[in-house]
Structure 1
Amino acid sequence: MNLNISGHHVEVTPPLREYVLAKLKRVERHFDHLISAEVILTVDKLQQKAEATVHASGANLHAEAVNGDMYAAIDLLMDKLDQQTRKHKEKLRNHHHKDAIKRMTLQ
């Protein structure tokens, strides 16, 4: 997976980069067809914002989170991305809906 981590008004330090990588591994565990991810860390006054766009096979997932602490914002962001990837994976797995539509058209 290609990963781009950038910071606006904040320096992306090696510990911060490692923290994002560790949290992204959790998202990859649930859905391994991730193509690329772009994470942007921003500081505006007292608000720390983390946003990410993940390109997966069949979908582009975007999430953002704002908190007073950058690490907490990253945690919230990854929770949202994890939920989106699980939902996307379930949509890919769920073929029952297509079968029901086929049966209705055949009758």
Structure 2
Amino acid sequence: MKINVSGHHCDITEAVKESINQKLSKVGSHFPTLIALDIIVTKEHGEYSAEISTKYEGSSIAVKGKGDVMYPAISQASKKLDAALKHRKGQLKSDLHAKPSCTTPEIAHEIIQEMDLT
């Protein structure tokens, strides 16, 4: 999985890149079909925000985490990404299962009315 990290009004050091790789390694192992993640870390008005976007099974997924410190913002975004990917995977799995068909005929209430239960 390729992780593209960029910074807006803040420096992205090797320590930050290593922290991001460590946080997102679990996501890469749980979802092996992910090809790339784009991460933008922004600092505005003394608050950091980390935005992660990717494509997974035909849909675009984007999450955002905010915080006063950079590392908790990245952590929050990675947790949201994990939850969003699990939700999407659940949707895809539920589409594979056959929906149950109605086992009673549509005129079952009429048949019961005609029965002599005395």
Fold shared by both chains (TM-score > 0.5): yes
Unaligned runs of 5+ in 2: 106-118
Q: Which runs of 5+ in 1 are unaligned?
A: none
Contact 1:48–1:67 (8 Å) recurs in 2: yes
With the length of structure 1 as denominator, give the TM-score of the two structures.
0.86
Equivalent residue for 2:25?
Answer: 25
Q: Say what the alpha-carbon RMSD is for the aligned residues.
A: 1.6
Report the alpha carbon displacement of residue 44 of structure 1 after superposing the two structures with TM: 0.8
Offset, 1:27: 1.2
Following the alignment from structure 1 to structure 2, what is the Cα–Cα distance between the partners of residues 45 and 39? Answer: 20
1:15-34 deviation line (CA, Å, top 9, x unaligned): 00011111111111221110
Does 1:7 find its partner at 2:7? yes
Q: Distance in 2 between matches of 1:83 and 1:58?
A: 17
What displacement does 1:3 show? 2.0
**Which amino acid in 2 is paired with 1:18?**
E
Number of equivalent positions: 102
- Correspondence for 1:41: 41
Runs (4+) of structure 1 exceeding 3 A deviation are: none
Which is higher, the Rg of structure 1 or of structure 2? 2
**TM-score w.r.t. length of structure 2:** 0.79
Distance 1:89 1:30 in 2: 11
Contact 1:49 1:64 in 2 (8 A): yes
- C-alpha separation between the residues in 1 aligned to 2:3 and 2:21? 9
Alignment of 1:1-107 (within 5 A): 1-94=1-94, 95-96=96-97, 99-100=98-99, 103=101
For 2:85, the aligned partner's letter is T
Question: Greater share of helix residues, 1 or 2?
Answer: 1
* Percent identity of equivalent pairs: 29
SS at match of 2:32: coil
